[in-house]
């Protein structure tokens, strides 16, 4: 079950396999009336994560007004010289401080509306602070008749240079718990989906981190309970080139067996004073991917720094 907002002028039909095993949506390629004002770069995408929006526009957490931060991010995205082919928001869309409400997701949609008006598709994942039922009621415009994974929001975004595999790691739908889980059915779906789309580099996107031991570059905890099973899938399929996640409110990257692990920054509040708040400008290259951090604090030492990643052979 994909979750995304696609402007009416750019909607695409979902392609579902006969078995319902794989759902894919193709990144927009046709022109709309607004294309005369904004040139679309089919290889450019925007990544952001952990927006933590509440229904109350004045609500704060850790001294930060999350809505104000996200509005700033949106305003920066819409004035870029070329329009991104898509925006991916990687979970914790709402916050558990309210707790999450229908109003929070509706307000999120309002904040993101300038992106939709520019014709940019917006794709989402579920984080541990989210509620699927509320999100679906407030924001989802397109759903397949037969979701590939019952009760989970998964998606494949096909682009010219890579395929994005969007996962759903929300574990508890009744209350907020920090850990996440994919479940065996979703992991099996991912295996099939990657195998059926192995003609291009694969980028797997999930809200939760994989709890990696220090010898594999990580000391993070409170991530995926079944992260080891996911890592087996990623390592055993050479077409998988990167794993993108949020959850920890950090901007980091490292490699495991040539797979790039990319930890997205939050747009909301930070846990460490040295971390940036902001978004990531992404461009898919023929042999890799370039990422540039756009910090809301323009004086942050990592702001504007370009990171170039090359795909494993």
Calpha distance 61→97 (Å, rounded): 8
Specify the range with the lowest mean pLDDT, choosing from 65-79, 169-183, 222-236. 169-183
What is the SS3 assignment for 184? helix
Query: Is the pLDDT score of 85 beyond 50?
Result: yes
Mean pLDDT, residues 191-201 taken together: 97
Calpha distance 33→138 (Å, rounded): 27
Element (H, E) at 170: none
Quick one: which of 104, 48, 106, 53 has its CA closest to 276? Answer: 48
Query: Is the pLDDT score of 25 beyond 90?
Result: no
Query: Is the pLDDT score of 277 beyond 70?
Result: yes
Query: Other C-beta atoms within 10 Å of 308: how many?
Result: 11
Query: Is the pLDDT score of 219 beyond 70?
Result: no
According to DSSP, the residues that pair with 260 across neighbouring strands are 242, 255
Confidence at 220, pLDDT banded by 50, 70, 90: low
Q: What is the pLDDT of residues 242-276, one digit of tens each?
A: 999 999 999 999 999 999 999 999 999 999 999 99
Calpha distance 142→47 (Å, rounded): 21
Give me the DSSP letters along 126-150. Answer: --TT--HHHHHHHH-----SS-SST
Q: What is the pLDDT of residues 139-194, one digit of tens each?
A: 765 455 566 788 899 989 999 999 999 999 999 878 888 999 999 999 999 999 99
52 or 8, greater pLDDT: 52
Calpha distance 50→69 (Å, rounded): 11
Report the pLDDT value the prediction gives residue 2, as an integer from 0 to 100. Answer: 41
Instruction: Please state, for a pLDDT cut of 70, what percent of the chain lies above it.
Output: 82
Residue pair 267/112 in contact by the 8 Å Cβ criterion: no
- pTM attached to this predicted model: 0.88
DSSP-assigned letter for residue 210: P
Beta strand residue intervals within the chain, DSSP E = 4-5, 15-16, 23-26, 39-48, 60-61, 64-65, 82-90, 122-125, 155-158, 163-166, 202-205, 240-245, 252-256, 259-263, 278-284, 288-295, 306-310
Confidence at 215, pLDDT banded by 50, 70, 90: low
Residue pair 91/77 in contact by the 8 Å Cβ criterion: no
Could you give the strand order of the β-sheet that contains 82-90, starting from the edge strand earlier in sequence? 4-5, 122-125, 82-90, 39-48, 278-284, 288-295, 306-310
Give me the DSSP letters along 233-262. Answer: HHHH-TTEEEEEE-SS---EEEEETTEEEE
The half-sphere exposure of 41 on its side-chain side, counting CA atoms within 13 A, is 15
Calpha distance 288→282 (Å, rounded): 11
């Amino acid at each position: 079950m994909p979750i995304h907002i696609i402007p009416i002028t750019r909607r695409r039909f979902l392609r579902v396999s006969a078995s319902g095993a794989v759902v894919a949506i193709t990144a927009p390629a046709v022109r709309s009336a607004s294309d005369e004002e904004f040139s679309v770069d089919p290889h450019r995408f925007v990544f952001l994560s952990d927006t933590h929006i509440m229904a109350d526009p004045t609500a704060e957490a850790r001294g930060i007004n999350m809505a104000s931060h996200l509005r700033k991010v949106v305003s920066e995205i819409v004035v870029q010289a070329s329009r991104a082919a898509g925006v991916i928001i990687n979970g914790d869309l709402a916050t558990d401080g309210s707790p999450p409400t229908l109003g929070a997701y509706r307000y999120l949609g309002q904040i993101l509306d300038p992106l939709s008006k520019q014709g940019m598709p917006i794709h989402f994942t579920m984080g541990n602070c989210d509620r699927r039922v509320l999100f679906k009621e407030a924001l989802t415009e397109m759903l397949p008749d037969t979701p590939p994974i019952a009760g989970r929001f998964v998606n494949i975004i096909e682009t010219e240079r890579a395929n994005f595999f969007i996962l759903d790691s929300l574990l508890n739908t009744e209350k907020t718990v920090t850990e996440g889980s994919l479940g065996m059915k979703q992991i099996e779906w991912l295996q099939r989906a990657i195998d059926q789309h192995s003609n291009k580099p694969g980028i797997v996107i999930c809200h939760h981190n994989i709890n990696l031991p220090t010898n594999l570059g990580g000391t993070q905890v409170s991530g995926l309970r079944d992260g080891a099973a996911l890592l087996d899938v990623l390592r055993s399929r050479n077409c998988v080139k990167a794993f993108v996640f949020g959850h920890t409110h950090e901007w980091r990257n490292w490699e495991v067996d040539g797979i790039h692990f990319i930890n997205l920054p939050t747009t909301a509040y930070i846990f460490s004073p040295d971390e940036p708040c902001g978004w990531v400008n992404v461009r898919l290259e023929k042999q890799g991917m370039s990422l540039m951090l756009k910090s809301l604090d323009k004086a942050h030492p990592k702001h504007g720094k370009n990171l170039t990643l090359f795909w494993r052979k």
